[in-house]
Amino acid sequence: MLHVGERGRRENTMRFLSLIASTLLLISFAAAETPTYQQATILDIQRNDAQGLVHKETDAAPPTEQARYDVKVQIGDMIYVCRYKHSTDFVPGNWEKGKTVEGRVGPNKHRVYLKDVSGKEVALPIVTRQAAKSDAMGK
């Protein structure tokens, strides 16, 4: 059986621990990173009509046709070739050779995210990457 003083101390300790836990939870939500966008320059967009090289006969339905594009984009000092797929021949209107859009590289560096005309983020898997050559290095 607890004495009156012990019970009060225990309740105060539990309140204190609850307050600390709540504070830490709020801090972790506040510290969650919002994506930082950079200027992404579209260097080239090429339609990629290549079909998969491996096709085995199965009972599965054949893959649906999708328009595929290789999008070459420079973000910072890196050039990425990314794959864009769409069920129709649609490419966002703001993605034109020589134009800049907002973009970022994903946290695991497997995808590039570009914004379309509406501001929606479109994920593009990275096919290749290379360092951009600066003018000073090229001379």
What is the C-alpha to C-alpha distance for residues 88 and 56, in angstroms, rounded to an integer? 25
DSSP string of 31-42, one letter each residue: HSPPPPPEEEEE
Q: pTM for this structure? A: 0.65
- The sign of the torsion formed by the CA atoms of 77, 91, 95, 46 equals positive
Scanning the chain, the segments in alpha helix (DSSP H) are 4-31, 135-138
Beta bridge partners of residue 44, listed in sequence order: 72
Asked if 94 and 36 count as a contact pair (C-beta separation under 8 A), the reply is no
According to DSSP, residue 58 is labeled -
Q: Label residue 53 left, alpha or beta by phi (over 0 means left) and psi (-120 to 50 means alpha).
A: alpha
pLDDT score, position 5: 63
Closest CA to 81 of 70, 97, 89, 92: 70
Per-residue pLDDT of the chain (139 residues; tens, 9 = 90+): 556 567 777 888 888 888 888 887 777 666 666 778 999 999 999 998 765 545 566 776 666 677 899 999 999 999 999 999 988 888 899 999 999 999 999 988 899 999 999 999 999 999 999 999 875 444 4
Counted residue by residue, the chain has a size of 139
